[in-house]
Amino acid sequence: MYHQYDAIIVGAGGAGLMAALYASKGVKTAVLSKLYPTRSHTGAAQGGINASLANLEEDHWEWHMFDTTKGSDYLGDQEAIEAMCRAAPELVYEMEHMGLPFDRTPEGLIMQRPFGGHTRNYGEAPVKRACHSADRTGHMILQTLYQQCIKQGVTFFDEFQVVDLIENDGVVNGVVAYEIATGKLHTFHGKSVLFATGGYGRVWSFTSNAHALTGDGLAIANRHGIPLQDMEFFQFHPTGLYPLGILITEAVRGEGGILRNSEGERFMERYAPTIKDLAPRDMVSRSIYLEIQEGRGIDGKYVYLDATHLGREKIEEKLPEIADFCRTYIGVDPVVDPMPVHPTAHYAMGGIPTNILGEVLRDGDGNIVPGFYAAGECACVSVHGANRLGCNSLLDIIVFGKWAGQQMAQFSQENDFVPLPSEPDGPTRAALDVLRAATGDEHAGKIRSEMQHTMMEKVSVFREEPGIQQEIQLLRELQDRYNRVQLADQGETFNTELLEAWELGCLLDLAEVTAACALNRTESRGAHSREDYPTRDDVNWLKHSLAYQTDSGVDIQYRPVSITRFQPKERKY
Amino acid sequence: MTMRVHVKVRRFDPDTDQSPWWSEHDLDAEPSDRVLDVLNKIKWEQDGKLAYRRSCAHGICGSDAMRINGMNYLACKVLVKDLGSNITVEPLLGLPVIKDLIVDMELFFEHYRSIMPYLVNNDPVPTKERLQSPEEHERYDDTTKCILCAACTTSCPSFWATGDYLGPSAIVQAHRFIFDSRDQAAADRLDILNQSSGVWRCRTIYNCTSACPKEIKVTKAIGEVKKALLFNRF
């Protein structure tokens, strides 16, 4: 079936919905999502969204910019970071005007709290910058944006899974979508296409990410010759609820929670003497790994996040969701007992490279792919560099979702439809036929599980060359076995087995790109910690990597980092 | 300690089945496993055709509401140890089944959209935030937790009797705006809820409150909307 829209938005999390609100003000817009929009993983974000509102204490966008740059281990592009931090207050007010139910100060202002890596006066002490709705800020952002889309009459195609990008002579002009309810393929012809498809945390076994986060957008773009930037930087959030991996928000520490090892020691005092438990996530995750490695983990497996001294009232009021998770899933009441936690695969700093307007870059010289945009976790603009600070992701999706939506509207008003190539859904049809027809004794679930467990072991918080090389070898074997996965379901209606198998193909691609980039970068920076290259090397590695898929494997090129206000310094907290 | 569970799943595939049937599965599970983990095991190890919706797996996204041992739950928020070794899983009642545990949600979302689920405020936009006291925020805080999973609406006998009834979830969503001090369209929403498809269909059965995975006091919220209509107070 054929559809024509000026702007086509893929993904209905915060970035996609924000883009939709703005694009649809100017041009005919459609949003395609493999889930119902309110199921998107923006809804799982807990702690808050950053803006230097200074509602409770002095704060400035320059301080926010400094913290974000330092948090990124100086790999973030400062031009983009400055734009985001300057825009943050206005955007947070805009969310409030849309109806977002922020917690309030006694004066009725938006409430703010401290978060990891956010400081006053360039690193002196934690600052209250994270605007929040209890510990369900992402849920409220997702709901609020969806509500506004309904108000504005935005067109949605729910449970349409985008499986291919259409281009003609270097211009992106549509997507191919699989309608999950019927198994039919749809061709969406557009003037502009935005990917806002989220992350790929399902590459790892211990993750805070939803089952749906299989990196579809990244894999599709990469298959079309578009590079993926900085894929070696994947954030492991320090506090995943053991043994499930569910996110326990950093707001627990923002509200005063403390990490303790098996001896009851507040070990972050040793690793980050100034801001202790509120150090950035990469440092806290490494510290937890080291504590466990050195025999100070509980049962050798996890550490404790202690909130018992906060009192019942504060936990019920400020952290009700995570209290519920602990009680429901592991029978621990955080009012009474500490929570068992372990670093959990959480957030892709890397992704489809874009400029500030959301335009996708095709190379290290900043040349764009006309008609193609990306925003949110699947994009790499790059404001997070080598390590994202907490509460900057909700800000990222709002800011860059908006600007991408505006840019799409403008581009679509100024340009005509580029004709589709003949049989635009042909390659998809063929690929799905191959999946359906494959025979053999392999199971997608088994291959996925092997990938997830080995990636956790070899390419997670700490990496070193022999382990990464073994993993790349194994991933190639898994790719080979993937061709022999036999599907039981040959039907058309909600064939989720077929889609899961297709998604596994994306995950395998992205695991290989991640491992190849991790092997290539012979330094330690932010979330990328090489045991064999333990220090940061600005002389050789202060640059973004761009990974291309080729027939002979992953080819890596580079892009310069934008450094404007803050020169790289040693990163201490 | 691993336990053996016997799972019965209500099945229907429109491509091949004339009528619904039960599939039965025996497998090992941990007491701490979620029912979603059990369904995943069945799908990944025994029967790839089994169809259900799922995403976040920790009670936030609202994809996997279903009927488990006769009660509505999110499959990712109920544990094996709380159900015992016999587990029966069925699709939600009151919405058309598409395949296995997947129901057609369109009627549910149509009702949601009908109550003006968005803030209406026609005053000029201030340069900073609109002020709202903590007490004013508290007034509607509970109903902001709704994740649109439909567990409440599809547990309601009044909704089973007539799908025209907007149902608890839509009323919860209306409540969230009616009692928000920043909103100016309460009267319009109350008009919608005062019609025969609105709050008066509620018979105070409390199934919705029991079913809500976010522990929203749904029946109380509906009661507050009824009171607002009777006494014109909100």
User: Mutate which of A33, A36, A136, A316 to test chain B, going by most B C-beta atoms within 10 A?
Assistant: A36
Radius of gyration of chain A (CA): 22
Of B174, B184, B183, B187, the residue nearest B218 (C-alpha): B174
- Spatial contact of A392 and A83, defined as CB atoms under 8 Å apart: no
Residues of A noted as catalytic: 281
- Spatial contact of A566 and A78, defined as CB atoms under 8 Å apart: yes
The β-bridge partners of A556 are: A547
HSE-CB of A152 using CA atoms within 13 angstroms: 24
Quick one: pLDDT at residue A2? 97
Out of B48, B109, B117, the one facing A497 most closely (by C-beta) is B48
Does the distance separating the beta carbons of A493 and B99 come in below 8 Å?
yes
Average pLDDT value for residue range A164-179: 97
CB atoms within 10 A of CB B132: 21
Out of B13, B59, B137, the one facing A101 most closely (by C-beta) is B137
End-to-end CA distance of chain A: 56
Does the distance separating the beta carbons of B180 and A96 come in below 8 Å?
no
- Spatial contact of A558 and A544, defined as CB atoms under 8 Å apart: yes
Residue of B nearest to A491 (CA): B15
- Spatial contact of A210 and A41, defined as CB atoms under 8 Å apart: yes
For residue A99, which residues of chain B lie inside 8 Å, CB to CB?
Answer: 118-119, 177, 180, 182-183
Out of A97, A143, A210, the one facing B57 most closely (by C-beta) is A210
Average pLDDT value for residue range A154-166: 98
Residue B112, both tokens: 């949601």
Q: Which position has the token pair 């489809």?
A: A352
- Spatial contact of A45 and A141, defined as CB atoms under 8 Å apart: yes
Tens digit of each residue's pLDDT (9 = 90 or more) over A113-142: 999 999 999 999 999 999 999 999 999 999
Rounded to an integer, what distance in angstroms lies between the CA atom of residue B197 and that of residue A306?
A: 49
Q: Which position has the token pair 């209500």?
A: B10
Burial of A295 from C-beta contacts in 10 A (0-12 / 13-18 / 19+): exposed
For residue A44, which residues of chain B lie inside 8 Å, CB to CB?
Answer: 56, 58, 60-61
Does the distance separating the beta carbons of B134 and A103 come in below 8 Å?
yes
**pLDDT higher than threshold 90 for residue B16:** yes
Average pLDDT value for residue range A32-54: 97
CB atoms within 10 A of CB B107: 18
For residue B181, which residues of chain A lie inside 8 Å, CB to CB?
Answer: none
Q: Chain A, 373-412: which have a CB under 8 Å from a chain B CB?
A: none
The fold of the B106-231 domain, in CATH, is Fumarate Reductase Iron-sulfur Protein; Chain B, domain 2 (1.10.1060)
Supply the DSSP string of B65-116, one letter for each residue.
EEEETTEEEEGGGSBGGGT-SEEEEEPPTTS-EEETTEE--HHHHHHHHHT-
Residue B4, both tokens: 């053996």
Quick one: pLDDT at residue A108? 98
Q: At what angle do helices A444-458 and A496-520 cross, to 10 degrees?
A: 20
In the structure, what pLDDT confidence band is assigned to residue A145 with cuts at 50, 70 and 90? very high
Partner B contacted by A444 (CB < 8 A): yes
Rounded to an integer, what distance in angstroms lies between the CA atom of residue B191 and that of residue B226?
A: 11
**How distant is the alpha carbon of residue B28 from its chain centre?**
29
For residue A93, which residues of chain B lie inside 8 Å, CB to CB?
Answer: 127-129
Residue of A nearest to B41 (CA): A445
The CATH number given to B3-103 is 3.10.20.30
- Spatial contact of B2 and B37, defined as CB atoms under 8 Å apart: no
Quick one: pLDDT at residue B232? 77
For residue A147, which residues of chain B lie inside 8 Å, CB to CB?
Answer: 117-119
Question: In angstroms, what CA-CA distances link A312 with A266, A278, A335, A336, A510?
Answer: 22, 22, 6, 9, 43
Does the distance separating the beta carbons of B131 and A107 come in below 8 Å?
yes
Residue of B nearest to A181 (CA): B98
For residue A492, which residues of chain B lie inside 8 Å, CB to CB?
Answer: 15
- Nearby residues of A62 by Cβ (< 8 Å), 6 or more positions away: A85, A565
Report the gap between the CA of B159 and the closest CA in chain A (Å): 22
Does the distance separating the beta carbons of B77 and A99 come in below 8 Å?
no
**pLDDT higher than threshold 90 for residue B234:** no
For chain B, the structural domain boundaries read: 3-103, 106-231
- Spatial contact of A114 and A131, defined as CB atoms under 8 Å apart: no
Partner B contacted by A56 (CB < 8 A): no
Tens digit of each residue's pLDDT (9 = 90 or more) over A361-383: 999 999 999 999 999 999 999 99
Identity of residue A328: T
**pLDDT higher than threshold 80 for residue A307:** yes
Report the gap between the CA of A562 and the closest CA in chain B (Å): 31
Of A262, A259, A257, A256, the residue nearest A272 (C-alpha): A259
Rounded to an integer, what distance in angstroms lies between the CA atom of residue B115 and that of residue A186?
A: 32
Rounded to an integer, what distance in angstroms lies between the CA atom of residue B209 and that of residue B202?
A: 12
Out of B48, B62, B182, the one facing A99 most closely (by C-beta) is B182
Of A387, A362, A389, A391, the residue nearest A374 (C-alpha): A362
Rounded to an integer, what distance in angstroms lies between the CA atom of residue A92 and that of residue A211?
A: 29
Q: What is the ipTM metric for this complex?
A: 0.98
Element (H, E) at A120: strand A112-120
Q: Are strands A543-550 and A228-229 parallel, antiparallel or unpaired?
A: antiparallel
Q: Which position has the token pair 């198994």?
A: A183
Rounded to an integer, what distance in angstroms lies between the CA atom of residue A525 and that of residue A514?
A: 15
Q: Are strands A112-120 and A125-131 parallel, antiparallel or unpaired?
A: antiparallel
Q: Which position has the token pair 């859904």?
A: A425
- Spatial contact of A65 and A77, defined as CB atoms under 8 Å apart: no
Partner B contacted by A108 (CB < 8 A): yes
Rounded to an integer, what distance in angstroms lies between the CA atom of residue B31 and that of residue B39?
A: 14
- Spatial contact of B50 and B66, defined as CB atoms under 8 Å apart: no
- Nearby residues of B206 by Cβ (< 8 Å), 6 or more positions away: B219
How many helices (H) and strands (E) would you count in chain B?
Answer: 8, 7
Average pLDDT, chain A: 97
Q: Chain A, 182-201: which have a CB under 8 Å from a chain B CB?
A: none
Residue of A nearest to B15 (CA): A491
**pLDDT higher than threshold 90 for residue A302:** yes
Out of A104, A210, A212, the one facing B137 most closely (by C-beta) is A104
Partner B contacted by A137 (CB < 8 A): no
Does the distance separating the beta carbons of A35 and B61 come in below 8 Å?
yes
For residue B54, which residues of chain A lie inside 8 Å, CB to CB?
Answer: 211
Report the gap between the CA of A344 and the closest CA in chain B (Å): 14
In the structure, what pLDDT confidence band is assigned to residue B89 with cuts at 50, 70 and 90? very high
User: Mutate which of A17, A38, A90 to test chain B, going by most B C-beta atoms within 10 A?
Assistant: A38
In the structure, what pLDDT confidence band is assigned to residue B1 with cuts at 50, 70 and 90? confident
Residue of B nearest to A492 (CA): B15
Residue of A nearest to B14 (CA): A493
- Spatial contact of A224 and A476, defined as CB atoms under 8 Å apart: no
**pLDDT higher than threshold 90 for residue A49:** yes
Of B93, B68, B144, the residue nearest A321 (C-alpha): B144
Q: Are strands B86-90 and B65-68 parallel, antiparallel or unpaired?
A: antiparallel
Phi, psi dihedrals of residue B63, rounded to the nearest 5° = -75, -35
- Spatial contact of A77 and A562, defined as CB atoms under 8 Å apart: yes
Of A271, A274, A196, A245, the residue nearest A37 (C-alpha): A196
In the structure, what pLDDT confidence band is assigned to residue B233 with cuts at 50, 70 and 90? low
Does the distance separating the beta carbons of B59 and A328 come in below 8 Å?
yes
**pLDDT higher than threshold 80 for residue A437:** yes
Radius of gyration of chain B (CA): 20
Report the gap between the CA of B223 and the closest CA in chain A (Å): 22
Q: At what angle do helices A78-98 and A61-71 cross, to 10 degrees?
A: 120
Average pLDDT value for residue range A476-488: 97
Element (H, E) at B158: helix B157-161
- The size of the A-B interface in CB pairs under 8 A is 152
Asked if residue A243 has a cis previous peptide bond (ω within 30° of 0), the answer is yes
Quick one: pLDDT at residue A439? 95
**pLDDT higher than threshold 70 for residue A536:** yes
Does the distance separating the beta carbons of A102 and B44 come in below 8 Å?
no
Residue of A nearest to B176 (CA): A101
- The pTM is what? 0.97
Out of A43, A246, A488, the one facing B61 most closely (by C-beta) is A43
Q: Are strands A155-158 and A462-463 parallel, antiparallel or unpaired?
A: unpaired
Q: Are strands A359-361 and A258-260 parallel, antiparallel or unpaired?
A: unpaired
- Spatial contact of A259 and A268, defined as CB atoms under 8 Å apart: yes
Out of B16, B121, B144, the one facing A101 most closely (by C-beta) is B144
Rounded to an integer, what distance in angstroms lies between the CA atom of residue A321 and that of residue A405?
A: 32
For residue A446, which residues of chain B lie inside 8 Å, CB to CB?
Answer: 44
